[in-house]
Structure 1
Amino acid sequence: MTEPPSPWWLDAPPSRPLRVAGGIQIHSTRGSIAQTWWSARFIEVLESLGVGGRLARGRSYARAGQILELQVDAGAAVARVQGSRPEPYRVRVGLTTYGKTEWAAVEQALADDAWYTATLLAGGMPPEIEQLFGSLGLALFPAGGRDLSMDCSCPDHAVPCKHLAAVFYLLAERFDADPFQVLALRGRDRETLLANLRARRGGGETAEDTAAQSQAAPLTECLDRFFTAGPGLADVGRIGSSPTPPDALLDQLPAFPIAVRGHRVADLLRPAYRALGEQPD
């Protein structure tokens, strides 16, 4: 008994992507793409999903420059990938971000050990940082596909498709050059993280403190109460049995090197100071 022919779409050769000019092309032409341990950890997640030939086609897309643009922000990497259709596909790789409380704990733990700060400032990622996140109940890298949200506008039913795989490989190369993009996906950009680490090690204000102060009312809106006297300020100068004499300032001045008709200048000015002090408020 002969077997029925397989559906035509299973026997159809893979479609060829439309060639583009000026796409983002990874530098690796063969072999492993990830050159650092942190990029390799990210690629492990992709390869653990086991989507076969789509990974190879994704590498080919990344090496051919089929990715038109890639933007890495807190919680997501968004890209446009040129496939076989005229309209490029929209690709998104999402990762859960951490809030202020979680990042405050991470930053304090990093600041407590100068090794972390020095390595990050030098553009590297200390291997121990993954364990540091884990000790706080957090994960730096996704543990698997369930920790990622992956979406592509192409008609392929497989996740990840070759377009998503291409973005993964480009991200790995980006991470090689800038490990801070790994942290950016978790919600902390380079400038904010380094500023907060310097502040915590030096006892200064973190970026969140500065941002909170910048939200205070402008001075022009509170001039009527900005210089309001505090409690007890009106009693300054009246401590004791009598107010401070109006000519007391003259006693604090150094002696003038000249005299006027045999009289000290301070003595000549004293009646005028006392007269001013007697003026009504």
Structure 2
Amino acid sequence: MSPRRDPSRSYGLTPWARSWLDVLELRAPDVVAAAHARRVTKARSYFRDRHVHRLTITPARVTASVQGSQLDPFDVTLSMRAIDPPTVAALLVSRDAGADLVGLTRGEQPRILGELLLPTESADIDSDCTCPDDTLRCIHVLAVSFEVAAEIDRNPTTLLTVMGTDLAELVGEVHAATVPDEQSDSSATDPGPAPTVDYYGTSAMLPPLPSPPRMNPLTELDAGKLRAALRASGVPPTDLAEAVDDLGALYDVLLPE
């Protein structure tokens, strides 16, 4: 039995998802307009009829199988030219846009971050399919691309994985880019230990500073109030658990070992 068509399924509703599809050059130069229209229409029907199976998104790589016109499904692979996280972090800091990463936890798609993450040309995305169609983007590649766009619509952090990074890595790189290099020429400028001052005239040795145990602030917060705060910030109810996980990843990077 063929899967039931779901006309409500959609993709490319958000800026990042639309930009992702634009870069795939759906109107490739070797495809005439009529053939292109038929190919896109068929790919849309595959998307809505859920012909794409086993969609797997890993850093800079997407794989899936698509049930086409033959008995056996076709295997599709998309390989992306991965971004360089330190470079993206440095550019975010230089443009005073480090807070864009926090916006991701609220389901936002910040413009500056998107400009630094999204592929800019068709050559940034290499596609391969086991079907006999040798056009640049066959029906099955387009159907998988629509599925990826739908995932980006649902969760913007998907784009980070697609382009070869994740939120924790970018947060760490931004933090490193904003911390001054304390090691540069420290030997030439180090004045040595500060002289001891006996403020109280007792010559008593002060006790060492306390060393509190490492903690995760999320465990100290009221779960109900945290979810209410996230909802008030615009996080959809279905994404609350994922938003809490993203906050946990941020704390893991920011808190010292």
**TM over 0.5: same fold?**
yes
Q: Indicate whether 1:60 and 2:45 are aligned.
A: yes
| Maintained 8 Å contact 2:57/2:162 | yes
Q: Indicate whether 1:119 and 2:142 are aligned.
A: no
Task: For residue 200 of structure 1, report the CA deviation from its aligned partner.
Answer: 4.6
2:127 matched residue in structure 1? 150
Count the aligned residue pairs: 177
Unaligned runs of 5+ in 2: 181-203, 205-257
Task: For residue 128 of structure 1, report the CA deviation from its aligned partner.
Answer: 2.6
Where do residues 143-182 of structure 1 align in structure 2 (5 Å cutoff)?
A: 143-182=120-159
Partners of 1:145 and 1:98 lie apart in 2 by 15
Change (3 A) 1:125 1:104: same
1:32-86 deviation digits (Å, cap 9, x = unpaired): 6311111111122343425331111001001001011111112211111111223
| Maintained 8 Å contact 2:90/2:177 | no
2:67 matched residue in structure 1? 82
Q: Indicate whether 1:38 and 2:38 are aligned.
A: no
Q: Indicate whether 1:190 and 2:167 are aligned.
A: yes
Task: For residue 122 of structure 1, report the CA deviation from its aligned partner.
Answer: 1.3
Partners of 1:59 and 1:165 lie apart in 2 by 8
Q: Share of identical aligned residues, percent?
A: 25
Change (3 A) 1:173 1:100: closer
| Maintained 8 Å contact 1:26/1:62 | no
1:118-141 deviation digits (Å, cap 9, x = unpaired): 31221211123244x3xxxxxx32
Partners of 2:74 and 2:62 lie apart in 1 by 14
Change (3 A) 1:188 1:33: same
Unaligned runs of 5+ in 1: 1-17, 134-139, 205-251, 253-281
What is the DSSP-based 3-state SS (H/G/I as helix, E as strand, rest coil) of the residue aligned with 1:188? Answer: coil
What is the DSSP-based 3-state SS (H/G/I as helix, E as strand, rest coil) of the residue aligned with 2:40? Answer: helix
| Maintained 8 Å contact 2:62/2:77 | yes
Aligned residue type for 1:154: C
1:135-193 deviation digits (Å, cap 9, x = unpaired): xxxxx323343332111001112221111110111111100011112122221123333
Higher relative contact order structure (alpha carbons within 8 Å, sequence separation ≥ 6): 2
Where do residues 8-47 of structure 1 align in structure 2 (5 Å cutoff)?
A: 19=2, 28-29=8-9, 33-46=11-24, 47=26
TM-score (norm 1): 0.53
Partners of 2:161 and 2:91 lie apart in 1 by 14
What is the DSSP-based 3-state SS (H/G/I as helix, E as strand, rest coil) of the residue aligned with 2:62? Answer: strand
Alignment RMSD (CA, Å):
3.3
